[in-house]
Chains A and B, each alone.
Chain A
Amino acid sequence: MSSLKMKPTIGSRIFDTCNVVFMLIFSFFMLYPFVNLLALSFNDGVDAARGGIYFFPRVFSLDSYKFLFQNDKLYSGLGISILRVVVGTTTCVFMTGLLAYVVTIRNFSGRKFMRILFLITMYFGGGLIPTYLLMVKLGLINTFNVYWIPGLLNAYYMLLMASYMEGLPESLFESARIDGASELRIYFKIVIPVSVPVFAAIAVFSAVGHWNSWFDVILYNSNGKWDTLQTYLRKLLLEVEALQQIQDAQVAYSKYRNISSSTLRAAVTMVVTLPIVCVYPFLQKYFVSGITLGSVKG
């Protein structure tokens, strides 16, 4: 808005036009797979096997969606997914944000120690089996807690948030400290309000991560009680993978007959993806416009 005050030069105008044209072409490429999937999902299943569907359905059919929405577990899966995203994202963002704040305080003696402690976890892990055994011993198997407790703190998010917070003027916190505010109070009253853009960005990362993760669901909650929406998509995709292990021709014949069509896979992709896609536009407004530190400082 402030730039509008300036009289745009010709170069600036040419640039703007090119930029818009570029963005339009760019968004075509970005949108294409969705258009393709959408077209597929509205196509007849058997017909789609013949390939050649790009922009529009060839034989229109709502069967895939009808089939999908008949499934009651889809709705409970949606509920669990939402619960997971809400609980997982809030806890992760607030805890990791707190950690990031602590490791940004310049004269805190444990600052480097904490950073290295978490940095190492980005590179070294025990592998699948020890982690699985740990979850068994902690009693997290077949519980909802396995979705958020192991993901409470994230080293990568910590570094990103800390790099943002380092750009904030130290005086902001010092004055509060002198006034006798506790660190938690500073975190909630000062750090979070001025770091909204990075919190929003990490919230998008974390929410999408929670929504999309499926391996921990089928690994730790294999009894199906806490199946998330994403697992439906994965089950369809894994179905194809599992087929390759079949050796017997008779079994292969019946399994390949019953395999879900590419149209159903497309419909599931749409149903599973659309809710989470909406998270971004919602959080976007928190980092579209620049922040004014002056208001907080004053």
Chain B
Amino acid sequence: MKSELAQVSVQPTSRLQLVKRQIYKERQLWLICIPMIIWVFIFSYLPMYGIIIAFMNYIPGKPIFSSDWVGLLHFKTFFHSPDFWNIIRNTLAISGLGIVFGFTAPIVLALLLNELRMKRFKRVIQTISYLPHFISWVVVASILFALLGNEGFINDMLLRLGIIHQPIAFLGEGKYFWGLLTTTNIWKDVGWATIIYLSAIAGVDTEQYDAGKVDGLGRFGMVWHITLPSIRPTIVLLFILGIGGILNAGFEQQLLIGNSQTREYHEVIDTYAYKYGIQLGNYSYGAAIGLLKSIIGLALVLGANRISKKTLDTSIL
């Protein structure tokens, strides 16, 4: 009895001391962290009060807190909007395709680039591959029109070769849109996304390859048993973030490549929130949709991370 009491009274002080000791031991690290915490508080957390307008009817110019509270009204409006299911379908389809193809393409390209023997050739190709990233969507849209329009380059070729007799409306028919957008997205950013994998591959210890050679691994074996496992943390990280970004299906490209005839296939959450939120002056509506996206995104990331931790023993936290 007595000893138990002693234990109870001793423990808190010792725990506190433990924490104190821990912090003292890590004082260098905390000194580095404190300015960073202050920075992130000011630049990221302070403006977050803006989120509450999702529950109000905010009119710009009036002080935020004098606006009317409407509770979950904007969320309900969104769920009941006639376009709701269409938007969700398009968003998921476009980012689903993006995850399946857009996510794997840069990994494959990075591995293929890494297999090139001529270093100079490799460097040139690498530089060329990231050029499209610099072309703005406006320009991409006009190039696409010239190539894929009803009278564009491709239709012209196909007609001349006699493969088709009627031009194909690549840009004017909804059913082509998802594929078209996915291809364009990959084309634009595959080289760009490769950079991070190439840097990860460059970080693989050369000793490992030497060891692999001793074990008699072939070229494919080297990739499979050494390169890929070494860049796995990067792959997993980007995959988890990709899952969290599943509701970000693009914005500018939809507005510029899409047209009235593809609307049923191109309208995604972001374009909808822009059109019906900001453009109509309904900041609160836009904020509500944005908040919904954020919550789902964060939840998905944490969920995906938990699964990855259990199955792959890799966590981003």
Interface residues of A (CB under 8 A from B): 2-4, 6, 9, 12, 15-16, 19-20, 22-23, 26-27, 29-34, 36-37, 51, 54, 95, 98-99, 102, 105, 108-110, 112, 114-127, 129-131, 133-134, 138, 149-150, 152-153, 156, 159-160, 163-164, 166-167, 182-184, 195, 197-198, 200-201, 204-205, 208, 212, 233, 237, 240, 262, 265-266, 269, 273, 276-277, 280-281, 284, 286-294
Closest to B206 in A: A290
Stretch at the interface among B66-74, B80-88, B162-170, B195-203: B195-203
B218 → chain A closest CB, angstroms: 8
The SS class assigned to the A binding surface is helix
Place the interface of chain B in its size category: 35 or more
Cross-chain contact B199 with A197 (CB below 8 angstroms): yes
Cross-chain contact B219 with A12 (CB below 8 angstroms): yes
With A105-B29, A163-B233, A284-B127 in contact, is A33–B46 under 8 Å at CB? no
Cross-chain contact B209 with A2 (CB below 8 angstroms): yes
Q: Is B12 an interface residue when CB atoms closer than 8 A count as contact?
A: no
**A117-B41 Cα distance, complex, nearest whole Å:** 9
Chain A residues near B153 (CB-CB < 8 A): 54
A149 → chain B closest CB, angstroms: 8
- Encode B95-107 as 1/0 by CB contact (under 8 A) with A: 0000000000000
Q: Is B28 an interface residue when CB atoms closer than 8 A count as contact?
A: yes
- Encode B37-81 as 1/0 by CB contact (under 8 A) with A: 101101111111111010000001000000000000000000000
Q: Is B123 an interface residue when CB atoms closer than 8 A count as contact?
A: yes
**A181-B287 Cα distance, complex, nearest whole Å:** 48
Stretch at the interface among B3-11, B112-120, B171-179, B262-270: B112-120
Chain A residues near B92 (CB-CB < 8 A): none
CB-contact partner of A293 in B116, B205, B287, under 8 A: B205
Q: Besides A23-B112, A126-B47, A134-B42, 18 other CB < 8 A contacts?
A: A16-B117, A98-B32, A108-B26, A114-B33, A117-B37, A119-B316, A121-B40, A121-B44, A123-B297, A126-B49, A127-B283, A130-B46, A159-B316, A164-B233, A166-B233, A212-B134, A291-B203, A293-B205
With A3-B117, A150-B43 in contact, is A284–B210 under 8 Å at CB? no
Q: Is B146 an interface residue when CB atoms closer than 8 A count as contact?
A: yes
- Encode B189-221 as 1/0 by CB contact (under 8 A) with A: 001000110111111111101100100001100
**A167-B213 Cα distance, complex, nearest whole Å:** 21
Cross-chain contact A288 with B195 (CB below 8 angstroms): no
Interface residues of B (CB under 8 A from A): 22-23, 26, 28-30, 32-33, 36-37, 39-40, 42-51, 53, 60, 112-113, 115-117, 119, 121-136, 138-140, 142-143, 146, 153, 187, 191, 195-196, 198-207, 209-210, 213, 218-219, 230, 233-234, 237, 241, 244, 283, 287, 290, 294-295, 297-298, 301, 316-317
A-B contact pairs, 12 of them (CB 8 A): A2-B213, A33-B139, A54-B146, A119-B298, A124-B298, A126-B51, A130-B49, A153-B40, A159-B241, A163-B237, A276-B134, A286-B202
Cross-chain contact B43 with A164 (CB below 8 angstroms): no
**A34-B234 Cα distance, complex, nearest whole Å:** 31
Cross-chain contact A197 with B112 (CB below 8 angstroms): no
Cross-chain contact A163 with B205 (CB below 8 angstroms): no
Closest to A265 in B: B139
Chain B residues near A99 (CB-CB < 8 A): 36
With A131-B47, A182-B28 in contact, is A153–B39 under 8 Å at CB? yes
Cross-chain contact A30 with B129 (CB below 8 angstroms): yes
Chain B residues near A105 (CB-CB < 8 A): 29
Cross-chain contact A126 with B48 (CB below 8 angstroms): yes
**A277-B195 Cα distance, complex, nearest whole Å:** 14
Cross-chain contact B128 with A237 (CB below 8 angstroms): no
**A7-B48 Cα distance, complex, nearest whole Å:** 61
B303 → chain A closest CB, angstroms: 13
**A160-B301 Cα distance, complex, nearest whole Å:** 15
CB-contact partner of B115 in A15, A166, A200, under 8 A: A15
Cross-chain contact A15 with B317 (CB below 8 angstroms): no
A7 → chain B closest CB, angstroms: 12
CB-contact partner of B50 in A54, A127, A164, under 8 A: A127
A271 → chain B closest CB, angstroms: 12
**A163-B207 Cα distance, complex, nearest whole Å:** 20
**A116-B315 Cα distance, complex, nearest whole Å:** 12
**A184-B47 Cα distance, complex, nearest whole Å:** 31
B159 → chain A closest CB, angstroms: 16
Cross-chain contact A284 with B32 (CB below 8 angstroms): no
Chain A residues near B287 (CB-CB < 8 A): 127
Chain A residues near B28 (CB-CB < 8 A): 182-184
B24 → chain A closest CB, angstroms: 12
With A23-B116, A126-B51, A281-B123 in contact, is A290–B237 under 8 Å at CB? no
With A110-B33, A115-B317 in contact, is A124–B48 under 8 Å at CB? yes
Cross-chain contact B317 with A116 (CB below 8 angstroms): yes
Cross-chain contact A3 with B219 (CB below 8 angstroms): yes
**A26-B198 Cα distance, complex, nearest whole Å:** 18
Cross-chain contact B132 with A288 (CB below 8 angstroms): no
Chain B residues near A291 (CB-CB < 8 A): 202-206
Cross-chain contact B125 with A23 (CB below 8 angstroms): yes
**A131-B45 Cα distance, complex, nearest whole Å:** 10
Closest 4 CB pairs of A and B: A126-B47, A126-B50, A130-B50, A201-B199
